[in-house]
Every structure is written in structure tokens, then in C-alpha cells.
Amino acid sequence: MARVYNWQLGREMDYPYEGSRPRKQWAGVFDINKCIACQTCTIACKTTWTSGPGQEHMFWNNVETKPYGFFPLGYDVRILDALGPQAWQGETYSGQTIFEAAPSGERLLGWRPEDEDYAHPNIGEDEIKGRIDRGHAIAIPHEHWMYYLARTCNHCTYPGCLAACPRQSIYKREEDGIVLVDQQRCRGYQECVRGCPYKKVFFNPHTGVSEKCIGCYPRFETGEVSACFAACIGKIRLQGWISPPDQAREDNPIDYLVHVRKLAVPFMPQLGLEPNLYYVPPIHVPDAFLVQMFGPNAPQAVRTYREAREDPVLRGLFCLFGSSDRVLSRFRVDGDVAIGYGDDGDEVIRVPVTEPIIERPATDRLYQIRRVNTP
């Protein structure tokens, strides 16, 4: 095992390979509080990439309802349970990662789902944390909570799938950090299915090899966002590049949200993979659950989010979520306008931070008629 630095843990950790960050890293931020679980992202991905034989059970993108929704069944609670206590000392993780907790003879701590675990991709949909008894519904804040969690492959800096593959059939692209299964090299051993704690590598029983989210690299290479990002009707998603914290740029929208404002946090960072999808955490969830799911910075991220409306830069940046099919690598907020720039520095999108309000009198004096709102 080599020693690599994982900034999400605030420390070095064991990993089977030497640390080597890509030149640029594919990343995204999801504002969970805006997600309505319409599954448009899921279907956008499904129809684009996984409509072939043997892919029936695959959802490279899925949206589940927390706390009781999973795909595949119990994927997160299974690994969290196996890993044991996960303690943080401030922003430093003092527990074990899945690499450090590897049993003897294994490269990491992993498990394989049963076939049936893939059978109900939207199990637990809309279920809340507990039963609504008399009075619960009218108490504010609500005692019971739920939230939607949209997920794709995290294109991790230290991928579990890549670490687990004994054939090195999985690789991380130098140019964008996207993690791919080499479809020519794969022999279907499913060590990657076992090793990915997010269970985002899938075995294709028709071809006998494993497949996973490809980050829509054919789109990404041309500066377009991934299909699931482009299709999001709730505009909860922002795609771009993330830098290591010591190279963070204030004008990079992802860096700004993750590193500068610490408003977007990774999913289960304690597992040690340094995942590259970041979440604006749900605001109604108890801190203990937030910390377990999104790390020690999640409660503070919620507080920052609650005040974002009063913050001109954050307010402007949130207006750029879902505003364009192009990848935004730079942004600025100029008064009441948020502007996004592409990789080549050209302006890609310009949106008003406050939508103009136009008052239309109930009576049109020119035509002498009353206006009627027709929905």
C-alpha cells in the first residue's frame, strides 16, 4: 500500500497505488434541497447509455429517497455497518477507510450485492423517517424528514473499483479524471462491483463484463455537460472542474462552492475514495445523520446555505445551476447578473440574479378589456 493524501479526510491514507491526480478533475455539485426526484436524469442516462441487453438492471444515474431508499438495496448502510465506528476529530478523520480496513488477503473492504438487491431501484420512494402521529404534521420544524439523493459515479480520486481490479482494467483518465472500465480488458471478475462502496459499477450478465458511468465523456470532451446534468429540470446540478484545495480558484464555480465556501460536501467521505460529486446537504436533516452521510462540514454547510440568499455571490452562483448545457469553468457575479464562462474563456451564459417583475394592470386600457390569467 502507498500513502496518498486525501484532503476530504484531512490526512494521508493507504491506497494500493501511488497518488497521481489527473490534470483536471470532472466534478459536479448537486443542490439536494431542490431535487424533486422526477427521475428525468435517470431516464436521460438510461436512454443514452443502458438500453442494451444485459443492462436492464443498470442505473448509472439514480435518485433515491433517504433514509430508506437505496439502489442497490442497502448499499450505504451495508458498508457503513461493516466499517464500524467512523470518528472525526474536527475535520480530520480518525477512523478507518475501506482500504485501511481491508481484511487479510483483500485489497479493500467490500461486498457484492445479491441479484435481488437491484430489483427495486426506487424502493423506499417518498418514505419519511417515521410515522406521522397526531401533531407531527403541524410542528415546525417537522420531526420527520426525508430527502432525495441523486447519484452517479463519483469518478473518485482514489476509486475503489480501480483499486480492486486485479487486472488493472479500470483506469482514470489523465485529461479529465473520468474513471472507465476498459471493455476490452475486463474479464468479468466483478472485483470492481465488490469494491465500489457506492455500487456504481454493474455487471452485465449478457456480455459477462462490468460496466459503469462514463461521465458522458464524449459530451464532456466537447465542453458539454453530462446528459444527466443537461436533463435536470429542477436545475439542481452544476458541472465543472474541481481543483485540489491548495490550488482552489475563487472564480471556479465548483472550487468556490466546495473549497472556498464549504457549502457543498462529498458523499460518505470517510470511506476514503475522495468522491468528486458534492452535495449541498438537505436542510431538514439532523446533524448526526448529515455528518454520517456527508462528513463533519455538513451542518455548517446547511447554515451557510440558509444564509445564501443574503450573499450576492452565492445567490448569483446558484442562478447558474442548470443554466447552460456547457461546462462552466469560471464565473463572476456582476451586480444583478451572474455570468458563466467556458473552458476557452468565452462567455457561455448570462442570467439575471433577480428575475424582473413586470406588473400588468388588470385592465388593458388600450383595448378596454380586462385581462384574465389562464393557467
Partner 1 sequence: MTIDLVRTACALALAASALGATACDSRPDHVIARRASGELPRTDPLSSAWDGLPEHEAPLVAQNVIEPHLTEASVTKIRVRALHDGRWIAFRLEWEDATDDHNVTTTVFSDAAAVQLPRTREARPTIMMGNDGTPVDILFFRAAWQTADNMGELYPNMPPIHHPPEAAAEGPARQEMERHYQAGVGAQNPTVVRPDGASVLAFSAEGYGTLSPPEGGYAATGRGVHRDGRWYVVLAREIGEAASSPVAPGRSVVAFAVWNGSNGEVGSRKNRSEWIELEIQGGGS
| Interface residue list for partner 1 (CB under 8 A) | 51-54, 56, 104-107, 112-115, 118, 164, 166-168, 182-191, 193, 203-209, 211
Shortest Cβ distance from residue 17 to partner 1 (Å)?
13
Shortest Cβ distance from residue 56 to partner 1 (Å)?
6
* Side chain identity, residue 245: P
* Distance in angstroms (rounded) separating the CA atoms of residues 50 and 55: 5
In b/e form, how buried is each residue of 325-363, taking b as 16+ CB within 10 angstroms? bbbbbbbebeeeebbbbbeeeeebbebebeeeeeeeeee
Q: How many CB atoms lie within 10 A of CB 64?
A: 23
Nearer to partner 1, 195 or 316 (CB): 195
Shortest Cβ distance from residue 182 to partner 1 (Å)?
8
Cell numbers representing residue 258 in the block = 466546495
Q: How many CB atoms lie within 10 A of CB 282?
A: 23
Nearer to partner 1, 155 or 194 (CB): 194
Shortest Cβ distance from residue 117 to partner 1 (Å)?
8
* Distance in angstroms (rounded) separating the CA atoms of residues 26 and 226: 10
Shortest Cβ distance from residue 120 to partner 1 (Å)?
15
* Side chain identity, residue 122: N
Shortest Cβ distance from residue 25 to partner 1 (Å)?
24
Nearer to partner 1, 211 or 255 (CB): 211
Shortest Cβ distance from residue 74 to partner 1 (Å)?
14
Nearer to partner 1, 16 or 312 (CB): 16
Nearer to partner 1, 31 or 191 (CB): 191
Beta partners for residue 93, in sequence order: 88
Length of the chain: 375
Coil/strand/helix, residue 81: helix
Nearer to partner 1, 167 or 284 (CB): 167
Nearer to partner 1, 209 or 338 (CB): 209
Beta partners for residue 27, in sequence order: 240
- Ramachandran angles phi, psi of 224, nearest 5°: -95, 145
User: Who's near 237: CB < 8 A, 6+ residues apart?
Assistant: 28, 29, 30, 31, 41, 150, 225, 228, 229, 321, 322
